[in-house]
């Protein structure tokens, strides 16, 4: 015998079905909005690569994860952005390892002066045992690093007044360095007078002669137009720098696992792709910057490294980093100091 459904039963059932459908649609339409700040210029290869990853993520997640890139210090200087990342006021950040070292000291391990002879060695170290230690330390701060570090390249010294040919030329030289302990000590050990200035203020500091020079990879020198306020560039290659892509831990863990995988895979794939592209750009920029007015010279790197070794800086940082991390580094670089 068939049981007739009353009007009341029908309406209750329809309401329940409508509510369930609305809930499913709401879940499907949830957007994880990720604001990603970085101090690099909009046309820097790292920023271009991150934007490519953001586009892939939006497509692969059907818009559920929306990554918006804010280059050129739009969300504040490095120190400000790092504080906001930790508080959750912003969700992601691309940050140089030298700046990150103010929070995670071991992040500066790849900044050891003249440690790497080639970028490929740095990539292998950071993808491997050296990076494993650093990534574990980052996680302890409540931030989540993507696995692959982005390549910014080797840093070179620029000057407004004179060529830098030897460590003697740095004595008393007012050098802008990032707010990074290892950068500060490297240039103190070389006899200069380093001044810590955030990246957003470098151009003005050079223009007004608050400092005589600065040090950065050629891609930064070009995209930030430092050639307009500097005359000379010494290809010292004294430090390799990478950029970590970090996500606020609470935000990251609030996303479903399948979305986290899409985001991580996209950023790691683009980081790997951007590495050789950035190196190619850095290698091509001497000619471009020469046309823009910079005069280049190639000093003897061994003289600078010998000066650092004599100062005792390698032993100092070996003690600071600890035996396990220093040993991991030397497996890629050979004995340092």
Report the pLDDT value the prediction gives residue 4, as an integer from 0 to 100: 55
pLDDT of 10 higher than 60: no
Termini Cα distance of the chain: 93
Q: 104 with 252: CB under 8 angstroms?
A: no
Do residues 302 and 107 lie in contact, with contact meaning Cβ atoms separated by under 8 Å?
no
Distance CA 203, CA 212 (A): 11
Encoded tokens for 210: 């608050």
* Gap between the Cα atoms of 337 and 314, Å rounded: 5
> 242: part of which helix (H) or strand (E)?
strand 240-248
Domain positions in the chain are 31-333
How are beta strands 174-177 and 150-154 bridged, if at all?
unpaired
d(CA 12, CA 286) in angstroms, rounded, equals 74
Q: Give the residue with greater pLDDT, 18 vs 255.
A: 255
**Residue 218 · residue 156 · CB < 8 Å:** yes
249-265 average pLDDT score: 98
Q: What is the pLDDT of residues 43-87, one digit of tens each?
A: 898 999 999 999 999 999 999 999 999 999 999 999 999 999 999
What angle, 0 to 180 degrees and rounded to 10, lies between the N-to-C axes of helices 181-189 and 301-311?
Answer: 100
At 128 the three-state DSSP class reads: coil
Residues forming beta bridges with residue 244, ordered by sequence position: 95
CB of 42 closer than 8 Å to CB of 76:
no
Residues 19-33: pLDDT tens digits? 544 444 444 457 999
10 Å CB burial of residue 171 (0-12, 13-18, 19+) is exposed
pLDDT of residue 51: 98
Domain at 31-333, CATH homologous superfamily: Bacterial extracellular solute-binding protein, family 7 (3.40.190.170)
Location of structure tokens 């369930």:
20
pLDDT score, position 201? 95
Token pair, residue 128, equals 């491997």
Six token digits for residue 256: 């479903």
**Residues above pLDDT 90, as percent of the chain:** 86
Beta-bridge partner residues of 174:
193
Whole-angstrom distance, CA of residue 319 vs CA of residue 242: 23
Residue 12 confidence (pLDDT) above 60: no
pLDDT of residue 211: 97
What pLDDT is attached to residue 30? 72
Amino acid 27: pLDDT: 45
Tokens representing residue 139 in the block: 């996680």
Q: What is the mean pLDDT of the chain?
A: 92
Cα Rg of the chain, angstroms: 24
Q: What is the arithmetic mean of pLDDT over 282-310?
A: 96
Residue corresponding to tokens 């509510």: 19
Can you give the pLDDT at residue 1? 45
Full-model pTM: 0.87
Q: How confident is the model at residue 7 (pLDDT cuts 50, 70, 90)?
A: low
From residue 150, give the alpha-carbon distance in Å to each of 45, 120, 241, 284, 319: 10, 12, 9, 19, 27
Q: And the tokens for 134?
A: 């650093």
Please state the rounded mean pLDDT for residues 98-119.
Answer: 96
- pLDDT tens digits, 166-183: 999 999 999 999 999 999
Mean pLDDT (whole number) for 254-275 = 97
Please enumerate in sequence order all residues whose Cβ is within 8 A of that of 14, keeping only pairs 6 or more positions apart, or say none. none
* 140-155 pLDDT per residue, tens: 999 999 999 999 999 9
At residue 310, the pLDDT reads 96
Residue 313: how many CB atoms within 10 A of its CB?
21
In the block, which residue shows the tokens 């970090």? 246
Torsion of CA 318, 247, 82, 281, to 10 degrees: 70
> What is residue 18's predicted lDDT score, i.e. its pLDDT?
47
Query: Around Cβ 323, how many Cβ atoms within 10 Å?
Result: 9
Is residue 13 very low, low, confident or very high in pLDDT (cuts 50, 70, 90)?
low
Strand partners for 232: 159, 295
């Amino acid at each position: 015998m068939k049981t007739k459904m009353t009007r009341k039963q029908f309406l209750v059932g329809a309401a329940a079905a409508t509510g369930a459908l609305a809930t499913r649609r709401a879940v499907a339409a949830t957007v994880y909005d990720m604001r990603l700040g970085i101090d690099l210029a909009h046309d820097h290869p790292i920023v271009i690569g991150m934007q490519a990853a953001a586009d892939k993520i939006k497509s692969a997640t059907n818009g559920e994860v929306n990554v918006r890139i804010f280059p050129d210090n739009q969300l504040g200087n490095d120190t400000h952005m790092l504080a906001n990342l930790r508080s959750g006021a912003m969700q992601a950040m691309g940050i140089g390892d030298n700046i990150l070292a103010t929070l995670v000291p071991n992040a500066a391990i790849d900044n050891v002066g003249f440690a790497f002879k080639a970028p490929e060695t740095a990539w292998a170290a950071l993808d491997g045992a050296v990076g494993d230690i650093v990534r574990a330390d980052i996680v302890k701060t409540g931030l989540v690093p993507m696995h692959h570090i982005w390549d910014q390249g080797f840093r070179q010294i620029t000057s407004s007044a004179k060529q830098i040919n030897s460590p003697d030329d740095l004595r008393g030289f007012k050098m802008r360095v990032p707010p990074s302990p290892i950068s500060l000590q490297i240039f103190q050990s070389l006899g200069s007078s380093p001044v810590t200035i955030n990246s957003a203020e470098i151009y003005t500091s050079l223009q007004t002669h608050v400092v005589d020079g600065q040090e950065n990879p050629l891609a930064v020198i070009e995209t930030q137009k430092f050639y307009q306020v500097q005359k000379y560039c010494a290809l010292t290659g004294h430090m390799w720098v990478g950029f970590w892509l970090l996500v606020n831990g609470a935000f990251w863990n609030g996303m479903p696992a399948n979305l986290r995988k899409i985001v991580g895979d996209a950023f790691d794939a683009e980081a790997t792709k951007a590495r050789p592209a950035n190196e190619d750009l850095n290698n091509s920029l001497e000619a471009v910057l020469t046309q823009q007015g910079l005069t280049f010279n190639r000093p003897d790197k061994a003289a600078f490294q010998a000066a650092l070794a004599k100062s005792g800086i390698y032993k100092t940082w070996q003690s600071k980093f600890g035996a396990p991390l220093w040993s991991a580094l030397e497996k890629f670089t050979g004995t340092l100091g």
